[in-house]
Structure formats: C-alpha cells, structure tokens
Structure 1
Amino acid sequence: MIKSGKDIIFASKLIREGKLVAFPTETVYGLGANGFDAKAVAKIFEAKKRPSFDPLILHISSTEQLESVFKTPVPALITRLAEKYWPGPFTIVAPKSRKVPAIVTAGLKTVAVRMPKHPVALKLIKQAGVPVAAPSANLFGRLSPTEPEHVREQLTTIDYLVEGGKTNYGIESTIVSVNGNNIEVLRHGAITPEQIKTDFPDTNVSISSTENHIQAPGQLKSHYSPRKPLYLLDEMPDEIPEYVRLMLFEPHEVPEGVEQRIRLLSDKGDLLEAASNMFTVLHDLESDPEVEQIYALKVKTEGIGLAIMDRMNKAAYRYSTLASDDEIQI
C-alpha cells in the first residue's frame, strides 16, 4: 500500500536516498526520482512499465540549475524562455550536460527540463537539492493523474505520495526544442505556438512534424488512454446509447432526453477550464460500471484546442476514430 501525506521534508529525503516519490505539479502528478542517479531513475521505468526509449523530463527549482542540466554555455534564448515562462507548464529541450545520465534522455544528446509552478513541487525539488526526473505518475500509456486518487489506483510499488489536491491545468506541459534562433514545438500544452510567436517575434517558431523519431515525452501516437473504448466525433450524434457518455468541451445542443449521458467540461465554453477537467472526467468514466464506451466531440485545433486534440487523438488512437454519427455502432 502506497504511503501518502504532505511531508515534503520526508519526501525530499526519500529522493536523495534513491527512492520514488509522486507529487503534484500544476499540470499533472509526477513520479519523481533523483535525476542524477541512474539507478533511481531506472525505478521510474519499472514502476510505470515505461519503455526505455521514451525520455523523461528533469524538474528544477531555480534557473541557477540550468548549467548543471544543459551543456554550457547555456544559449541566451533558453535563458529568455526560462525568464518568460518559468515557473510554469513549459519544457525546454536542448543539449544535455555530462551530469545527466543517459537513462534520463533515452540515450539522446538532449534533455528536457522545466521548472514547475506548483508550490509543493518547487519546495520538494529545492529541498531535495537535485534535479528531479519525473514523468506523469501513471502506468505507461494510461490516463494522466490529476488527483491523488488517480496515482493510488495505478501505482502501488512507489515509496511515497505527496498529496496536493487536484492539479490546475490538467494537461502536460508544452515542450519545445531550441536550436540557434529556432523554437520547435514538440508537444502542445497551455502555452501555445501563437503565444510563443507573440512573445518572441525575433525567433523562428515551428511545429514538429517528426513521427518516427522521439525527441521528447508524449510524442508516441498512442498515449493517455482510458481502459474503455474512446471515439472522437466530428459532429453531434443523433442518438446516444445508454451505455455511452459523451464528453463536450463546450456547450452544444444535444438530442432530447440524453442530458444525463453528457459530460460538459466547461459550461462557459472555456477550453482552458475544459482541458483542466479532461483527464479527471476520463478517469471517472473509465471507473463507472454503467459506461461501456466514451464519445468526445472534437474542438478546433487552435489555441489550447491544439493541446486538447493532441491528447484526445493519442487517447483514442488504439480505437477507431469516427468521422460522423452514421458510423457509430449502436
């Protein structure tokens, strides 16, 4: 049985001892280990059943740690990005320092680094005194955890869980790689390409089109999946069977008499709020014995909608994507 509580000092001691600690960030709960201890990091892959070719993110608590994780001299653009978006849901990929073990980066010469905004995460990392390697605290490929209960349901072999309530954003961080004056978005998150272009007009901002070469976490085609079939819809279906629940990210007209089968993630149509509720609702639906299938109505792939659809497409990848209600089997 996993031990849990709010003792950050105890948790930081465990990390220094090479043990595993789950903790809240502003995005999702992370599963942390000493990022400079290869044996400790190996335990993350074992606990999550995560393949070794999928790299991890190093979490730091101060920009003073940049020179310990990135190859020096640290490019000025990285420093500018850190000053603008840290602490926050933003991860930077760049050439790694020699201190970073190969297991953290899956053998790549680059490492992904971010500074979380959650006060518990920052205190834990600072108290530990080392960068903390931490993917999401779930079994590989399963739904990301946004509440302590989600961690307990999936991970039973870790040493400690620092409780911090529900996370704020509910989706993982934006990930970018930096090369010269070029910023490439490797994974969509709350900080969008448009925002980066606006904040850094003197740089070249692009979106990764790489499909066969993993450069950062979250780039696999199938990820974040519920245990029940999830289907994405282009338009509202004419019928919703009793065994189905339909996820709506914003208000829509729905067929008469099926209101109880609808899960509206934001009654205001706020996609940022909807994104923060996405994994929580998916967790609830996969645990509901009355639900056999989950439908979700797509949103436009712009702004935060890019991050929402990135996660939903990966979550539904193992199932078939339904193009219209004519294809739904009822």
Structure 2
Amino acid sequence: MTARLTPDDLDRAADILRAGGLVAFPTETVYGLGADATDARAIARIFAAKDRPRFNPLIVHVPDLDTALAHVTMDAAALSLARAFWPGPLTLVLPRRAGSRVADLAATGLPTLAVRVPAAPLARDLLFRTGRPVAAPSANPSGQVSPTTADHVLRSLGGRIDAVLDGGPATVGVESTILMPTPRGTHLLRPGGLPAETLEAHLATALLPPPAGSAPNAPGQQASHYAPRGRLRLNATAPEPDEVYLGFGPGPAGPTLSATGDLAEAAAALFARLQTLDAADAPRIAVAPIPDKGLGRAINDRLRRAAAPRP
C-alpha cells in the first residue's frame, strides 16, 4: 500500500490486523509495526519480525480515552495527563484493568500496560476501523534506527510483514514520551516528542527519574538502542578525518539536523538523517552538541543510546 490511501486501503489493513497479520503504519512520532493486541500469536510475530527481546514491553495504541479505560485504571494525575495530551506523543504506563483482553505477551507479563492515543489522523482512523487495541513498537529491527517513512520500513522489514501504509514522513520524528504515574509522583521513563518541561508545567511538579533497579516496564530503556551501523561520537565540534559530521546550527558544511538550531526540526530530522547515513555505510559519525532542553532531551537520549556499546 502506498500514498493516497483510500478508505478501502484502510479497511484492508484493518482486516489484516484482525486476521493476525502485521501492518506498519505512520503515527506522528515514527512508523509503528502494528498487530492485534488481543492476539498472542500476532504479538509473537512482532517479536519475531523485529528480533525483539521478549522482556521488552510493547505500547498498546487505542483510538480514544474511553477505549484506554477499558484496559487500564487511571488515578487523578493520569486522567489529567490523558485529557490534556491525548491524542498526542505521550504514553502512560498504568495498572492493567481486570478483564482487559490485551495479551499478556504485549505487556511481557507485567501488571501494567503502556498505552497511548496517537494524534496522526491515519493512525486513529486505522484504530477505529480495526476495533481492537493495536500493539505497535517502531517498525524496524530491534536496536536499529527508528523509521520515519514507509521506505525506511520497507528497507529493513520488507518481506517480514504483511502491509505498509504510506502516510508520508512522521512529523514529530522521535518516539513518544513515556510517563508512569504512581502515588509517589510521576516517573519519566523515556523523554520523547512531548517535552518534559510541558508535562511538569501541567503537573505543577518535577518529574521523577525511572524507579531504580526495576525491570523494563516500557520500551526504549535499553542502554544500546536506535543505533546505525556506523559508530557515533557525540558533542563533536568538528569531524575527524574519517568521520561524517552531522551538524546542528552553524558549523561545518554537510548533513545537519537543523541549520538554524531549531530543536523541533532536529527531532523530526534525527532518524531520517541517521537512516540516510546508514544507507551510505558511513563508518563513523560525529554529531554536533544538542542543547539538553525541550525536545533536545529526547534527541540526546536517542543519541546516547545509539552511541552506547553494543551487545
């Protein structure tokens, strides 16, 4: 399936999902690899297609807040966040409601579920047509660069999945921010497309770090993740002779995340630039310093994990 999607295209994609197939589709953050979240065999196909570790939970996508409440319970803080920022690039890790039909494998056996309502109209249309919650991690092999276009998906997962819905480039470009509200406060499990400062202003309190020593209860918590084949050197002011330089703001000529130093533009461009350098087999990549504020926190999180030693 390609651009200029019709209602029939979306109906066929929904049929594939309900039949246990895998469909890649665009959200505002990145392209997700969707499967019926109530079907354990379909969920197992996601883990197999991505070579994803079975301990790494999936995010369950739903079309609206009412559907989310059929699967999770929300305290006052969680409900306030959901009402303020859904649809949007925010995932909430919440206690699973008794009677939820989401397969245990999607939550990797945890008593919590990671849920979100995406803002991309195509994604929400697909979710409404499917009529079931859809588990959807990023549509790429585990640990590699996330996809922000249909071509990125086809390049890495072509032949492993059943369909790709081409809705053009993802607009936000980095995955959702993940929060876990608890009685002690709200933990930031992963910075992402909704800045932490915006969330802290809404909550009128600081976000807490991830709970110490806990097993992964949401995606994006592995030390090595989002990595191209080439090695990354971060906070570089200039390239070394064997490096490609990925700039930000004024600096040496070449590929850049944003020539004007715009963090929203940089976030939207991050994975696309890394995908391009990966396709060109760049052996070493030097990345300019990125301010660690706003969306810069999400960009730096992805870059640090991409540069980490690989398993």
Query: For this structure pair, what is the TM-score category when the shorter chain's length is used for normalisation?
Result: over 0.9
Kindly state the Cα deviation for residue 127 of structure 1 after the two structures are TM-superposed. Answer: 0.4
How far apart, CA to CA, are the structure 1 residues paired with 2:249 and 2:43? Answer: 40
Letter in 2 for 1:264: T
Q: Is the 8 A contact 1:250 1:274 kept in 2?
A: no
Kindly state the Cα deviation for residue 137 of structure 1 after the two structures are TM-superposed. Answer: 0.2
- Aligned counterpart, 1:84: 84
Kindly state the Cα deviation for residue 66 of structure 1 after the two structures are TM-superposed. Answer: 2.1
Kindly state the Cα deviation for residue 305 of structure 1 after the two structures are TM-superposed. Answer: 1.3
> SS of the residue aligned with 1:87?
coil
Q: List aligned pairs for 1:20-39, cutoff 5 A.
A: 20-39=22-41
| Coordinate RMSD, CA, aligned | 1.7
Q: Is the 8 A contact 2:247 2:259 kept in 1?
A: no
- Aligned counterpart, 1:247: 246
Within the candidate set 253, 262, 265, 1:270 is matched to 262
Deviations for 1:1-22, whole angstroms, at most 9, x for unmatched residues? Answer: xx65631110011111111100
> SS of the residue aligned with 2:269?
helix
Deviations for 1:258-305, whole angstroms, at most 9, x for unmatched residues? Answer: x2xx2121122101111110100001011115x321111222322211
- Aligned counterpart, 1:281: 273
Structure 1: tracts of 5 or more residues without a match: 320-330
- TM-score when normalising by structure 2: 0.93
Letter in 1 for 2:77: L
> SS of the residue aligned with 1:196?
helix
Q: Is the 8 A contact 2:179 2:188 kept in 1?
A: yes
Asked whether 1:112 is paired with 2:111, we answer no
> SS of the residue aligned with 1:69?
coil
Deviations for 1:7-44, whole angstroms, at most 9, x for unmatched residues? Answer: 11100111111111000000000000111111111110
Asked whether 1:176 is paired with 2:179, we answer yes
How far apart, CA to CA, are the structure 2 residues paired with 1:270 and 1:19? Answer: 39
Letter in 1 for 2:33: L
Q: Is the 8 A contact 2:249 2:261 kept in 1?
A: yes
> SS of the residue aligned with 1:246?
strand
- Aligned counterpart, 2:189: 186
Q: Is the 8 A contact 2:61 2:117 kept in 1?
A: yes
Q: List aligned pairs for 1:190-269, cutoff 5 A.
A: 190-201=193-204, 203=205, 205-208=207-210, 210=212, 213-233=215-235, 235-237=236-238, 240-241=240-241, 243-252=242-251, 254=252, 259=253, 262-269=254-261
- Aligned counterpart, 2:127: 125
Over alpha carbons, which structure has the higher Rg? 1
Asked whether 1:96 is paired with 2:96, we answer yes
- TM-score when normalising by structure 1: 0.87
